[in-house]
């Protein structure tokens, strides 16, 4: 399918290789399609801290963004480009489902591809995993790779 933009949500696990492999099967090199690789660092805006703590938190946040881009997203994007696939990388802080939805909308993605993971915490059992939340609220199709 020409001119597709596929948003791939990576989580830094081995599942990411399967997700990327599936996303690459949807596009052909040089056909005008694009894969956007997105890594979301969970970040809560609800921590109450002093001004000094917030300043340190901001510096830590910027360092985390840079590290994730350098160690995870950048190499994946470079590998996709080496295969002739148009690619872009994005690293953001926030809730993964919300960020992926926003990026998909902003970038005009036609599909979101993510991996299925098991709920790891009570919070995920109560509020749902990223895949469940995206499948129920995303404005575009979501493919969940097992």
Least confident of 11-20, 48-57, 90-99, 104-113: 48-57
Indicate the pTM of the whole model: 0.81
pLDDT over 50 (residue 127): no
Q: What is the pLDDT of residues 49-104, one digit of tens each?
A: 666 766 677 667 778 888 888 888 899 999 999 999 999 999 998 889 999 999 99
Burial of 43 per CB tally in 10 Å (0-12, 13-18, 19+): middle
Q: Which CATH architecture has domain 5-145?
A: 3-Layer(aba) Sandwich (3.40)
The domains of the chain are located at 5-145
Tokens 């993510």 label which residue? 114
- In angstroms, rounded to a whole number, what is the distance separating the alpha carbons of residues 10 and 8? 6
Burial of 100 per CB tally in 10 Å (0-12, 13-18, 19+): buried
What pLDDT is attached to residue 53?
A: 67
**Higher-confidence position of 48 and 106:** 106
By three-state DSSP, how is residue 106 classified? helix
């Amino acid at each position: 399918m020409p001119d597709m933009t596929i948003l791939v949500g990576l989580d830094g696990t081995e599942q990411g290789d399967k997700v990327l492999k599936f996303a690459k099967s949807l596009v052909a090199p040089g056909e005008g399609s694009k894969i956007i690789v997105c890594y979301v660092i969970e970040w809560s805006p609800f921590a109450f801290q002093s001004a000094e703590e917030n300043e340190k938190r901001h510096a830590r946040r910027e360092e985390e963004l840079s590290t994730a881009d350098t160690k995870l997203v950048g190499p994946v994007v470079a590998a996709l480009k080496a295969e002739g696939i148009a690619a872009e990388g994005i690293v953001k802080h926030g809730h993964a489902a919300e960020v992926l939805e926003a990026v998909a909308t902003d970038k005009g993605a036609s599909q979101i591809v993510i991996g299925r993971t098991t709920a790891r915490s009570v919070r995920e059992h109560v509020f749902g995993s990223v895949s469940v939340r995206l499948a129920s609220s995303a404005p575009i199709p979501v493919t969940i790779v097992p």
